[in-house]
A and B are shown apart, each in its own frame.
Chain A
Amino acid sequence: MSFLVATIVLPLLGVLALAFAPRDNTRLIKLIALGTSVLTLIASLLMLTKYKFGVSGLQLVSSHSWFKYFNINFAIGIDGLALVLILLTTVLVPIVVVGGWNEAEGGRWSVKTFYMLILVLETFMVGVFAATDVFLFYVIFEAMLVPVYFLIGGYGRGDRAAAALKFLLYSLFGGLLMLAAVIAVFIISARQGVASFDVTALSHVKIGHTAQDWLFLGFFIAFAIKAPLFPFHTWLPSAAKSATPGTSILVLGVLDKVGTYGMIRFCLTLFPEATKTFAPYIIVLSLLSIIYGAFLAIGQKDLNSLIAFTSISHFGFIVLGIFALTSQGITGASLYMVNHGFSTAALFLVGGWMIERRKSTQIEDFGGLQRITPVMAWLFFIAGMSALALPGLSSFVSEFLVLLGTFTRYPAAAVIGTLGIILAALYVLLLVQRSLHGPLKEGNEGTHDLVLREKIAIAPVILALVLLGFYPKPAIHTINPMTSQVLSQVQVSDPSPLAGK
């Protein structure tokens, strides 16, 4: 059994173990969940020993027949992009477990159910990035919504049931559009004698021009809802407002990356012609996302919604990078997915602890935290700095690459995108000023600083932000072969550098 398979299966074994654990022993349950997620992390790291870096194409592939009649297989394999996203997942899950040690208590159901849902979700998240069969991808893409639905609706705050339903309906609607497109791709491939759901085989199928356009849209809208891209983003703020910090980290940090991952993996490689047709329009949408998300973030009074809207802005950057169709753009966007995962995780973790202590999500209720809880305040500051892409932190590298890659093809778009950075500075600094600085607001006196458990949870995230900020080369080196392969499939090459005039 390869380490990839182990990474997918291990969380399920944890679910099984949890099922037999006594319901009342919450400590044991949390330890099982933590142990499982750490083992999964180890398995995913061991994967690196077998992975050949700098080589394009899928590796660690394995395939088992699943539904023979339609030639559907349990086919998995990874390339650079899938690898870094799987690592992001396996790193974040233990952090979520440790960081949100007490967040399952007070939910509608037991702590046990919470961790079973988290581990099921981990299997799905790893599986969705590893799937190389379009049908399998689709199945996981849809099935993974169900645990999230229960995580938000069962353990969230406020109007959680409505938020959960909204999230699910949006995603399922996108999924159904994609299903129609998946079926069409399969039938087209069958008419050409291929009859396969294998993503590599499908990328060689010739699809007519009009068909490509429609099918591209089927996939793209599903991914744009997931990502979320303006104007398909409206489910996100309510979900982020209601979900627990841990769920938010997994939804925004990992789950939503399936959208942008899918754009590269399916939209670009399966429908190269349509990609080129729609790229300019999508660039416009992504710019709207960047600016719109940033403006709304500035105006938010609720901490969780603010983080959600910053994410809409950041996803705008990722999509911008992808559809600039340049090597820097796609590599930058891929790297951005990882960095955004860590930076959102940092924001939601520290933000979640602040909310837990203050029992309020309103930004105006905080203030002056820097004086009494310096560690928490500094960490929140660093997380904020990573959100505004401060040089030296990882987001800077990816944002710069995206803008650079965009500039070579669409200079105007890059200029507008840069506006997003300025707006980011505004919303982050305002947030920092209101919540951390100034006189100590009433109600914050008793707030205590981070405990050891919380420091342990946040440490790897900060480490990743700094490390990838100063030395992004290993990650870029891992992603690059995928980028060049995708670009050759889309049949575009980088524009020649603009000569100085």
Chain B
Amino acid sequence: MFTTPVLDYNLLAPILIVLGGALLGVLVEGFVARVYRARIQIIIALLTVAVALGWVIKIRALTSQAAAIDSVSTDGFGLFTQGSILALSFVALLFFTQNDHFAPQASALPGSIEESEAAESGVQMTEIYPLVLFAISGMLLFPVAHDLVTLFVALEVLSIPLYIITGLARRRRLLSQEAALKYFLLGAYSSAFFLFGGAFLYGFSGSLSLGVIRTAASNPASNHIFLLLGVLLVSVGLLFKVGAVPFHSWTPDVYQGAPTPVTGFMAACTKVAAFGAMFRIFIVGFGAVQNDWRPVFVAIAIVTMVGGAVAAISQRDVKRTLAYSSITHAGFLLAGVISLSKIGLTAMMFYLVAYGFATIGAFGIVTLVRDSTGEVNDLNRWAGLAKKSPGVATAFSLFLLSFGGIPLTAGFIAKFSIFTAAYASGNTSIVVVGVISSAIALFFYLRVVLIMFFKEPTDETVTVAVPSFLVGTGITICFVITLVLGVYPNLLFNLANTMTTLQP
């Protein structure tokens, strides 16, 4: 017999609002004259995200399993994650307002006549805004999804627009398109792994719901082979998304090739969504067999922390450096997942926010350092940046110090709490390796500070663009948040701590 599905629109509203905004953006593309599009699209995107964020704040205290027939769970953890994604997206979108980062016409072949015509006629790429909104809607759904199909749909909704917008860089288009293709192919593989794992889990439990999988998994008499195969394959899909070693190889290429505002958005928001989903799946779904997967995750966390830090040392490109740094951070975040405790969850949530804002800010600053042909990503040409623009160099240093976990920045509190959680759960090895890889990582963060402050400017063609009002606001927000969370972490930490409720 067919029962009418119960949908609680109040709880689903944040996702629906963003989807609505995206669809509206598509309509704008079709019906509004080209000259107005860019402005309207920006306003729609920012408003949509702001309203969705407001809605999340409004429903912050609600918990429910029934938002969409057992497929979406609304709980403190999910709402906190959604709130972080929206807040981070809002700031990231401010950097999308620099339209000169995106190809005027993505369909024109690089170097073709069409391309130069499009560039000359001043055509602007505005489809990117609805695409970002679609990606955000997927990110919002991913961490609250409670069954495997919804998870998979969310994964694809968040990934596919990202593949597209990765290839939209205005300059070095071949690099950008190569990155997009690489990201797409590897992403498709990892999605396939995820799906394959889902099939095993269905075969094992007879259900797609995480709750049922948990119940089945806690029954020792059941055949755990299929369960473990499923867990393994699902992990591959998720670890790919967060960029953990050995599934990280796409990260540097994609971070480098994508338009820089996109990189900032992707680095911060995808990570929040993917870690949110990962925590929910592994705690709610696979919590009963934690003794089986935890050692594997410990090993992955360790190689991720060390691998990212070691590989970053030899990088010469600022975006690749930040990409490897993000890999190291994925390792630290995995330490939060492994600790499987309330404090681990709180620490991970805090870490994601602290890391997210610093990342968006850092990539935001990368967009400002330019020469006549566009962005300058070669670190050696950043020499003496502090002389050209002390403010920008100071802000970038603060973000780097936060990545490095120097006290009085958000990154320090984040690292401290995640190490504390890991130690409290008995994972001393993680703490020791974490400390060592932090030390290695510090080397390259400080090298960048050194290049900016202590090297004489060698290249006079490199300039720091004066940020527009919105971009300046974005950097300021990131700067203030990074500093405030480092000096006075109480508010966010307590908020995260009260929002750790997870629907079983």
Contact = CB atoms under 8 A, between A and B. Distances in A.
A42 B439 CA distance: 40
A150 B454 CA distance: 9
Interface string A65-80: 0111110000000000
B494 A139 contact: no
B439 A176 contact: yes
A176 B489 contact: no
B490 A70 contact: no
B407 A143 contact: yes
Nearest to A176: B435
A25 to B, nearest CB: 19
Interface stretch (A167-175, A311-319, A377-385, A407-415): A167-175
Contacts of A108: 453-454
B442 interface: yes
B420 A70 contact: yes
Contacts of A143: 406-408
A143 B486 CA distance: 12
A299 to B, nearest CB: 30
Contacts of B413: 67
Given A67-B413, A69-B493, A183 B438 contact: no
Interface string B437-456: 01100110011001001110
A197 to B, nearest CB: 11
A153 interface: yes
B329 to A, nearest CB: 16
Interface in B405-427: 406-408, 412-413, 416-417, 419-420, 423-424
A187 B420 contact: yes
A177 B442 CA distance: 14
Given A169-B442, A176-B439, A179-B416, A187 B423 contact: yes
B454 A180 contact: no
Contacts of A154: 453-454
A28 interface: no
Contacts of A164: 450, 454
A245 B413 CA distance: 35
B361 to A, nearest CB: 18
Given A108-B454, A154-B453, A161-B455, A169 B446 contact: yes
A143 B428 CA distance: 25
A419 interface: no
A201 interface: no
Main secondary structure of the interface of B (DSSP, over half): helix
Interface string A166-204: 001100110011011001101100100000000000000
B489 A67 contact: yes
Contact of A173 (B401, B439, B447, B453): B439
B305 interface: no
A68 B490 contact: yes
B435 A179 contact: yes
A165 B439 CA distance: 13
A422 interface: no
B438 A176 contact: yes
Contacts of A150: 453
Contacts of B439: 169, 172-173, 176
A69 B417 CA distance: 10
Nearest to A161: B454
A168 B446 contact: yes
A160 B424 contact: no
Interface string B135-167: 000000000000000000000000000000000
B435 A69 contact: no
A165 B493 CA distance: 33
A191 B446 CA distance: 37
B447 to A, nearest CB: 7
A160 B454 contact: yes
B416 A169 contact: no
A493 B488 CA distance: 44
Contact of B450 (A138, A140, A153, A186): A153
B447 A180 contact: no
B497 A69 contact: yes
A454 interface: no
A146 interface: yes
A173 B431 CA distance: 14
A142 interface: yes
A172 B442 contact: yes
B296 interface: no
A172 B445 CA distance: 12
A37 to B, nearest CB: 23
A302 to B, nearest CB: 21
Contacts of A184: 423, 428, 431
A183 B419 contact: yes
A176 B450 CA distance: 20
A161 B490 contact: no
B423 A139 contact: no
A176 B433 CA distance: 11
Nearest to A150: B453
Given A67-B493, A183-B431, A169 B423 contact: no
B447 A165 contact: yes
Nearest to A69: B493
Contact of B490 (A69, A177, A179, A187): A69
A49 to B, nearest CB: 32
Contacts of A176: 435-436, 438-439
A169 B436 CA distance: 12
A179 B419 contact: yes
A214 to B, nearest CB: 9
B28 to A, nearest CB: 45
Interface string B456-467: 000000000000
A186 B420 CA distance: 8
B432 interface: yes
Contact of A183 (B416, B442, B454, B488): B416
B407 A138 contact: yes
A168 B439 CA distance: 11
Contacts of A142: 406-407, 412
A380 to B, nearest CB: 32
B384 to A, nearest CB: 10
Interface string A146-158: 1000100110000
B420 A169 contact: no
Interface string A56-90: 00000000001111100000000000000000000
A186 B423 CA distance: 10
Contacts of A187: 420, 423-424
A150 B401 CA distance: 14
Contacts of B493: 67, 69
B424 A190 contact: yes
Interface in B255-277: none
A88 B460 CA distance: 46
B443 A169 contact: yes
B446 A139 contact: no
Among B417, B432, B436, B453: residue with most chain A CB under 10 A: B453
The 9 closest A-B pairs by CB, nearest first: A161-B454, A139-B407, A142-B407, A176-B435, A173-B439, A180-B435, A143-B407, A153-B454, A183-B420
Interface of A: 66-70, 108, 138-140, 142-143, 146, 150, 153-154, 160-161, 164-165, 168-169, 172-173, 176-177, 179-180, 183-184, 186-187, 190
18 contacts: A67-B413, A67-B489, A68-B494, A69-B346, A69-B490, A69-B493, A69-B497, A142-B412, A143-B407, A150-B453, A161-B450, A172-B406, A176-B435, A184-B431, A186-B420, A187-B420, A187-B424, A190-B424
Given A138-B407, A153-B454, A180-B435, 11 more contacts: A67-B489, A69-B346, A139-B407, A153-B450, A169-B446, A172-B439, A173-B442, A180-B419, A183-B419, A186-B420, A187-B420
